[in-house]
Chains A and B, each alone.
Chain A
Amino acid sequence: MPKANYIRAMRDAMAEEMRRDPTVFLMGEDVRFNMYGSSGGLLEEFGEDRVLDTPASEAGFVGAAAGAAMVGMRPIVDITIAPFVYPAADQIISIIAKSRYLYGGQARVPVVLRCCMLYNGASAAQHSDRPYPMFMNVPGLKIIAPSDAYDAKGLMKAAVRDDDPVMCFEDTTVWGRSMEIPDEEYLIPIGKAAVKREGKDITIFAVAGAVPLAIAAADKLAGEGIDAEVIDPRTLKPLDTAAILASVAKTGRLVVVDPAHRTCSVASEVSAIVAEHGFHYLKAPILRVTTPDIHIPFSPVMEKGLYPTTDRIAEAVRRSMKEDA
């Protein structure tokens, strides 16, 4: 099987879907010249009519994608860096998420909104956001956050084919990681988690770029006699509650790892789900490994320790294992 990294997989997913369906098109900031690496060759293959560079008008072009979708197109919108979704928030929340509902089922808004989370790279507070939890609080949006190249390709293809709006939060900390990708076409269903490492002692639930860190922590802990299971939700909305509970039922312990800020994070939601529906499985309190509720500083010395790391995950696992209810 050929190898591809995360952004190459994203590119291939979009290219395959654009070949399959003439209503699929890509629009976004600096996509024609492949500024962010995931649109290479698309202009050459599909032409200017289907690969649109947009003005720097996030509200304008995200809203335009909504309108195009309502009349029969299937836009993929590359908003590029995640905090650039904020100027478009009204269009995402009030138009894209709500139109089907407000209009009593008349509207179809099959838009895919892509953005990349550019954290842990000295980009400071306005460029380092991981804002998926904010949008998880908005009904009407499906949200995916792939953690590796295989999932990125399969989920992006599923997102393009989905008739509902999908936001895709791409994690740049795993962009460069390569893995084998099958030659044959495959889709990964939205709403289904994956067990990325099987184990019986403790469940580590990890989001996006935290998944490889959780796997590394689990590998390290294996040397200490701890057999950790790593669950990757892949889709953040809707969360695969059954998969989370099944794992916790098996292990009785849960560490939730989420690169987002702590309050009202995925970690908060998963903790609440397990506290509500899986309390009786738990042998120890649920622990969260997140980013604190502070802004992201520029200087790497201050920035690096703020996000989940392999060491912080391993430490949380050890703490959980010491507890015995």
Chain B
Amino acid sequence: MIKKNRVMPVSNQLWPEMYRRMLRIRRFEAAATTLHGRGEIPGALHTATGQEGEIVGACMALTTEDYMIGNHRSHGHPIGKGARLGPLMAELMGRATGVNRGKGGSMHLADFSVGSLGETSILGSGLPVATGAALGAKMLKNGRVSLCFFGDGASSEGAVHEAMNIASVWKLPVIFLCEHNGYAITTPAKLGVSVEDVATRATGYSMPGVVVDGQDVVATYDAVAVAVQRARAGEGPSIVEAKTYRYSEHSIALPPMPYRTKEEVDSWRQRDPITMFRQRSLDEGVLRETELVAIETEVAVEVQEAVDFAKKSPLPQPDEAYEHVFIDPLTDLRT
């Protein structure tokens, strides 16, 4: 069932945008980390630095209209889907202009305008929802597919099994993207997951399961593109497992814990998805140095503008806490 990733040439035209989106995520999270350190972002901040390749590769295999659901470590996923940075940063800072109006914060970003249907901070709970979005797409015959990101930690949740089984039985257009970064907070996958590759479980759901190098944005794109093609053709769901790594601790400001070695982290940094892609773009002659630098400059400006937008944005009125509980509350919720 586990197949070597089928090589499909990605149109070189996508490479600049791949580079741009990976950089956006990297720099957005770096800026957020700085703001968090200054106390300008409240609450927890789970960064995915090191995982940008699989995020962008998977998201770019979809159209803007397709659905995507992330998890608690998903600042990058809406960015991968094309979301504007300003409202995302404003959300992290709890501002009224935040994409969720300050109601969701770091773990629950949603930008429905680009098909980002939200993120759930309860592990695995997004998979049934993504499966349902695929069911809706099938019933509405709108041709869309649904992509759900989950980690190796989440793969142990019961909801994951239920969603995959339903998606298979109903042949739904959904792609389950396992971001295997090796650790459920501090628990290594070998202590929490019964298989080396989560994708092998696809056999149990009668669907294809593919393992891909998540540090390779193009390889991830290719694998997800195959799954998307299958989903759109009405052939049902797939699992794509991207082997990846998060450089930072589970959450920003947590002290490093000895569950992994510095050597291990360093070895993964040697396979950084952005650095590798930059070099490959030059080596294969797809992008010139000047083009790469131009993208880098543009992204630096975009991220700075997002930070400026967020900082200048007003805070919500405390009374806005009462909005969005219902479309029609039928009663005064303030009593």
Partner-B contacts on A (CB < 8 A): 23, 25, 49, 52, 54-55, 57, 59-73, 90-91, 94-95, 99-108, 139-140, 142, 162-164, 190-191, 238, 241
Contact = CB atoms under 8 A, between A and B. Distances in A.
A130 B130 CA distance: 30
B29 to A, nearest CB: 21
Contact of A104 (B102, B122, B146): B102
Contact of A67 (B111, B129, B330): B129
Given A99-B118, A101-B103, A164 B326 contact: yes
Interface of B: 67, 98-104, 108, 110-112, 117-118, 120, 122, 125, 127-137, 139-140, 144, 146, 158-159, 162-163, 165-166, 169-170, 323-331, 333
A299 B169 CA distance: 40
Contacts of B135: 64, 67-68, 73
Return the 10 tightest CB-CB contacts between A and B, nearest first: A67-B132, A63-B128, A60-B162, A104-B101, A64-B132, A104-B100, A71-B136, A57-B162, A68-B136, A103-B110
A60 B108 contact: no
A95 B120 contact: yes
A72 B331 contact: no
A139 B329 CA distance: 10
A323 B10 CA distance: 83
B103 A94 contact: no
Nearest to A25: B139
Contacts of B111: 106
A54 B100 CA distance: 33
Contacts of A241: 331
B45 to A, nearest CB: 17
Contact of A70 (B117, B158, B325): B117
B326 A142 contact: yes
A72 B162 CA distance: 22
Contact of B324 (A60, A105, A190): A105
Nearest to B134: A67
B13 to A, nearest CB: 29
Given A59-B128, A60-B128, A104 B98 contact: yes
A322 B211 CA distance: 76
Contacts of B169: 55
Given A64-B166, A100-B325, A102-B100, A70 B159 contact: no
Contacts of B130: 67
8 contacts: A59-B128, A60-B162, A63-B128, A64-B131, A67-B132, A101-B325, A104-B110, A106-B110
B99 A67 contact: no
Nearest to A96: B129
Contact of B122 (A49, A55, A94, A164): A94
B136 A67 contact: yes
A63 B331 contact: no
A83 B99 CA distance: 37
B140 A73 contact: yes
Nearest to A235: B330
A145 B250 CA distance: 44
B323 to A, nearest CB: 7
A55 B162 contact: yes
A106 B112 contact: yes
User: Which of A54, A57, A66, A164 has the most chain B CB atoms closer than 10 A to its own CB?
Assistant: A57
Contact of B132 (A57, A69, A102): A69
A63 B132 contact: yes
Given A63-B163, A68-B139, A140 B326 contact: yes
